[in-house]
């Protein structure tokens, strides 16, 4: 009752007075400001090199603000998502295009993958004593975390500094609802390895490829990896691990596809460069991942997970050596692919950055679309004589060149200038010297 007495309804007379007022001061201010905006819009800035550079800077700042707003809205969303262990995850994953094992088709480069898997390594296999120690460790492990610690150090290769391994961390920087992950929580593989974001500098990979950097606000985040792994402990199910690795692989395939698309490229249809593995300490399964358009809807992607190898790495010394060798061979290949993709992205960005610099240094067209005469640094107009083509020897000489020099130059816009430069092969992009 006390709270109700504090809040009384507004007086009816005031409400009626506001409703009958034809134009409130606030509306007048709005109308006046609209008129001012119209007057300001009517005064367009001159098309000068300085104004164009200022406009480009404004557009970049707008784009960064839009990206920042987009990221904030994604992070603050309250939409429910299914984790990989929640009921309904498998059903939603299938709706999103992640195919089951029996539906997935072998990749077109399957023969190369299998050859690489069994390839001999330069380093010697572990001694049998190391294998026996591995068996003891697996049998001692009572939960998944312990199993990961015991087995990862014995079957995985430790790479040199600069190639990073991360365990059990969610992809907080990965975009939501891009198709394969609609309505699903972020992937969180038990193991992943790849280059760090800072290894791509000066190319700002996070600004151009939104799925490249896996962890938000981390310059040392793993970026565009090609290998992930899932473990299951004594009470876990390998079927769940396979489903989780399908999700991990789809995320890596999506990110790689986005990186290639930025360069105007793509992997050959059915070609697999992403790999995942699952293990419970006894069985080790290897999967190849790729995406293809659906046969029923070409605008929808289907993500394949094809098992190309399996080994029992606990019950026999020979099986342990073969499984360990195959996994490490694939680690080496994934590392090579990561470095190759990074180098391609950096080179592509550098070329475009150089072309942009050339374009920004080109003379700007006049308001009517034709190029203005050159001016020297002192502001004096420099009139250059027109260049004439060398007449063909078989044609009679022309005496009147004045008429041709008076012809109007072809109308070009800045967009057309940029387009011509971008279409010109690199070897032909050097600026010509002045003169005929």
- Helix or strand run (H / E) with residue 68: helix 49-75
d(CA 55, CA 53): 5
User: Considering only CA atoms, which of 180, 179, 188 is closest in space to residue 244?
Assistant: 188
Note the pLDDT tens digit of each residue in 67-91: 443 433 344 344 689 999 999 999 9
> Could you tell me the pTM of the whole model?
0.67
Question: Average pLDDT of 39-57?
Answer: 52
Residue 138: Cβ within 10 Å count: 20
Q: Is the peptide bond before 314 cis (omega within 30 degrees of 0)?
A: no
Residue 194: Cβ within 10 Å count: 28
User: Considering only CA atoms, which of 318, 4, 103, 353 is closest in space to residue 204?
Assistant: 353
pLDDT-derived band at 39, boundaries 50, 70, 90: very low
Note the pLDDT tens digit of each residue in 146-197: 999 999 999 999 998 889 999 999 999 999 999 999 999 999 999 999 999 9
Note the pLDDT tens digit of each residue in 274-297: 999 999 999 999 999 999 999 988
pLDDT-derived band at 355, boundaries 50, 70, 90: confident
Q: Are 171 and 251 in contact (CB under 8 A)?
A: yes
- Tell me: pLDDT of 45 over 60: no
Q: Are 228 and 248 in contact (CB under 8 A)?
A: yes
d(CA 5, CA 170): 51
For strands 274-279 and 222-231, give the pairing. parallel
Determine what percent of the chain is predicted with pLDDT higher than 90. Answer: 59
Q: Are 152 and 327 in contact (CB under 8 A)?
A: no
What pLDDT does 359 receive?
A: 65
Residue 188, C-beta contacts closer than 8 angstroms, at least 6 positions apart? 84, 168, 169, 170, 171
Note the pLDDT tens digit of each residue in 208-257: 999 999 999 999 999 999 999 999 999 889 999 999 999 999 999 999 99
What pLDDT does 354 receive?
A: 81
DSSP string, 197-257: GGGGTTS-HHHH-TTTB-STT-TT-EEEEEEEEEE--TT--HHHHHHHHHHHHHHHHHHHH
Q: At what angle do helices 317-360 and 144-155 cross, to 10 degrees?
A: 80
What pLDDT does 362 receive?
A: 54
Note the pLDDT tens digit of each residue in 326-340: 999 999 999 999 999
Collapse the DSSP code of 153 into the 3-class scheme (helix H, G, I; strand E, B; otherwise coil) and give the result.
helix
Alpha helices in 293-366 (DSSP H): 317-360
């Amino acid at each position: 009752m006390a709270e109700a007495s504090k809040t009384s309804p507004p007086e009816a007379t005031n409400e009626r007075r506001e409703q009958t007022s034809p134009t409130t001061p606030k509306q007048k201010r709005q109308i006046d400001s609209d008129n001012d905006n119209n007057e300001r819009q009517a005064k367009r800035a001159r098309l000068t090199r300085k104004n164009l550079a200022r406009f480009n800077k404004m557009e970049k700042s707008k784009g960064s603000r839009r990206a920042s707003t987009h990221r904030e809205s994604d992070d603050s969303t309250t939409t429910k998502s299914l984790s990989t262990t929640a009921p309904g995850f498998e059903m939603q994953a299938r709706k999103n295009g992640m195919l089951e094992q029996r539906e997935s088709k072998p990749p077109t480069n399957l023969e190369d993958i299998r050859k690489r898997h069994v390839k001999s390594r330069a380093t010697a296999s572990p001694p049998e004593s190391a294998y026996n120690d591995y068996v003891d460790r697996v049998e001692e492990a009572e939960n998944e975390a312990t199993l990961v610690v015991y087995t990862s150090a014995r079957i995985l290769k430790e790479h040199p500094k600069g190639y990073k391994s991360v365990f059990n961390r969610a992809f907080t920087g990965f975009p939501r609802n891009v198709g394969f992950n609609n309505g699903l929580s972020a992937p969180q593989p038990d193991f992943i390895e790849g280059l760090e974001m800072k290894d791509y500098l000066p190319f700002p990979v996070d600004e151009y490829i939104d799925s490249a950097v896996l962890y938000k606000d981390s310059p040392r985040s793993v970026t565009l990896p090609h290998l992930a792994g899932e473990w299951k402990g004594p009470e876990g199910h390998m079927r769940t691990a396979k489903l989780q690795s399908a999700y991990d692989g789809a995320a890596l395939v999506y990110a790689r596809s986005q990186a290639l698309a930025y360069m105007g490229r793509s992997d050959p249809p059915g070609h697999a460069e992403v790999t995942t593995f699952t293990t419970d300490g006894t069985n080790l399964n290897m999967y190849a991942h790729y995406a293809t358009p659906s046969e029923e809807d070409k605008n929808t992607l289907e993500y394949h997970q094809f098992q190309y190898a399996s080994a029992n790495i606990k019950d026999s010394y020979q099986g342990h050596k073969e499984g360990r060798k195959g996994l490490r061979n694939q680690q080496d290949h994934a590392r090579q692919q990561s470095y190759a993709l990074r180098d391609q992205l950096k080179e592509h960005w550098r070329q475009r950055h150089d072309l942009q610099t050339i374009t920004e240094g080109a003379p700007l067209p006049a308001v009517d679309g034709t190029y203005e005469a050159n001016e020297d640094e002192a502001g004096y107009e420099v009139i250059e004589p027109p260049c004439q083509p060398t007449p063909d020897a078989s044609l009679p000489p022309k005496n009147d060149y004045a008429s041709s020099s008076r012809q109007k130059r072809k109308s070009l816009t800045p967009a057309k200038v940029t387009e011509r430069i971008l279409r010109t092969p690199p070897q032909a992009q050097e600026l010509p010297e002045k003169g005929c």
